[in-house]
Amino acid sequence: MISKTIEKALNEQINAEFWSAYLYLSMSCRFASMGYKGISNWFKIQHREEMDHAYMMIDYLIRRGGKVSLDPIAEVPAGWETPQEAYAETLQHEQKVTSMINALYAAAEAEHDYATRQMLNWYVAEQVEEEDSVQDILDSLMRIGSDATGLYQFDLEQAKRTYTPAGGQND
Ligand code: OFO
């Protein structure tokens, strides 16, 4: 049986994962409406991965006998003007999520909840991956600057991203 402290912390993280999913869906919609189909695709896949992150934690909480609370999702921003702006915000957001996962990990350790700590290892590794891939994209965008042909090519590249269910989640 999971402790009330960890149950609460996991429910907060589940809400945060849904918020991330909603944030990236907002970015996907924004870039679709600006004609950047590839960038919209990249953010839509990011959205689906975040949903998986939430589902994985929900499954875990249920398996441990915890109670899932699906709290309201706070409003997300909208209206990014450039890809650079949205990806910079993505990196900032992922850095914040990394600190949240670290805090959760520390809470699991403090409670001697080694099963939760073990489950969180997947998220710790995922955050390294998330920050690294967004940093790579920002580096490319830095080189492209406002070059229209470069941005066109970049959009085509982003269109190639495909969805793979995270952590064995089914679509
Ligand atoms: Fe769930 O990794 Fe991004 O936020």
Q: Which atom of ligand 1 is nearest to the CA of 49?
A: 1
Tokens, residue 35: 């004609």
Q: Phi/psi at 15 (nearest 5 deg)?
A: -60, -40
Say what the pTM is: 0.96
Pocket test for ligand 1, best of 17, 58, 137 (most atoms within 8 A of CB): 17
Is the model's pLDDT at 171 over the cut of 50? no
Q: How far apart are CA 148 and CA 19, in angstroms?
A: 32
Residue nearest to atom 1 of ligand 1 (CA): 50
pLDDT confidence of residue 26: 98
pLDDT band, very low/low/confident/very high, at 169 (cuts 50, 70, 90): low
Q: How far apart are CA 28 and CA 8, in angstroms?
A: 30
Q: How far apart are CA 24 and CA 133, in angstroms?
A: 15
Tokens, residue 77: 């921003």
Is the model's pLDDT at 166 over the cut of 90? no
